[in-house]
Amino acid sequence: MPFEQVYSPIDGSIFGLRFLLSFFTYIDFNHPLIDFVSFVDKTLIQCHRLKLKKFGVYTCYDIEFESQFNRWIRYAISCNVEELILKLWYPGSKAEFQLDQSLYISSCFTDLTLAGCVFNPMGMISWKNLRSLFISDVILNEVLIENILSRSPLLENLVLDDYYGFSRLDITSKSVKNLMLVGYMDPDDDSANNIMRINAPNILSLTIKGCLLMWKILLLNVSSLVEANFDYEKFGYYETTSEEAEDDMLKGFIVNCHNVKELKIGFLCSKVLARLEAKGFVFPSNMNFQSYCSVSSPSLYSDSDSLLDSD
Total number of domains constituting the chain: 2
Does pTM surpass 0.85? Answer: no
Q: Are residues 214 and 100 in the same domain?
A: no
Q: Are residues 212 and 253 in the same domain?
A: yes
Q: Are residues 107 and 174 in the same domain?
A: no
Q: Is residue 33 part of a domain?
A: yes
Mean pLDDT of the chain: 82
| Structural domain for 249, as ranges | 162-295
Q: Are residues 187 and 288 in the same domain?
A: yes
Query: By C-alpha distance, which of 167, 163, 130 is closest to 149?
Result: 130
Residues constituting the chain:
311
Q: Are residues 184 and 239 in the same domain?
A: yes
Q: Are residues 131 and 189 in the same domain?
A: no
pLDDT band at residue 4 using 50, 70 and 90 as cut-offs: very low
**Per-residue pLDDT tens for 250-302?**
999 999 999 999 999 999 999 999 999 999 999 999 999 987 554 444 443 34
Q: Are residues 73 and 171 in the same domain?
A: no
Cβ atoms of residues 300 and 306 within 8 Å: no
Q: Is residue 144 part of a domain?
A: no
Q: Is residue 237 part of a domain?
A: yes
**Per-residue pLDDT tens for 52-107?**
889 888 888 888 889 999 999 999 999 999 999 999 987 766 778 999 999 999 99
DSSP category for residue 137:
S
Q: Is residue 300 part of a domain?
A: no
Give pLDDT, residue 59: 84
Q: Is residue 302 part of a domain?
A: no
- Cross-sheet strand order for the sheet of 168-170: 168-170, 195-199, 216-221
Distances (CA, A) of 158 to 102, 115, 153, 206: 21, 14, 13, 10
Q: Are residues 174 and 256 in the same domain?
A: yes
Q: What is the residue type of 123?
A: G
Give the C-alpha separation, 296 to 220, whole Å.
28
| Helix axis angle, 270-278 to 243-256, nearest 10° | 90
Give pLDDT, residue 236: 65
Give the C-alpha separation, 200 to 305, whole Å.
26
Q: Are residues 30 and 108 in the same domain?
A: yes
Q: Is residue 91 part of a domain?
A: yes
Q: Are residues 111 and 177 in the same domain?
A: no
Angle at 177 between CA 230 and CA 155, to 5 degrees: 125
Q: Are residues 76 and 36 in the same domain?
A: yes
Give the C-alpha separation, 235 to 243, whole Å.
11
Q: Name the percent of the chain in helix, strand, coil, to the closest 5.
A: 25, 30, 50
Give pLDDT, residue 304: 40
pLDDT above 60 (res 30): no
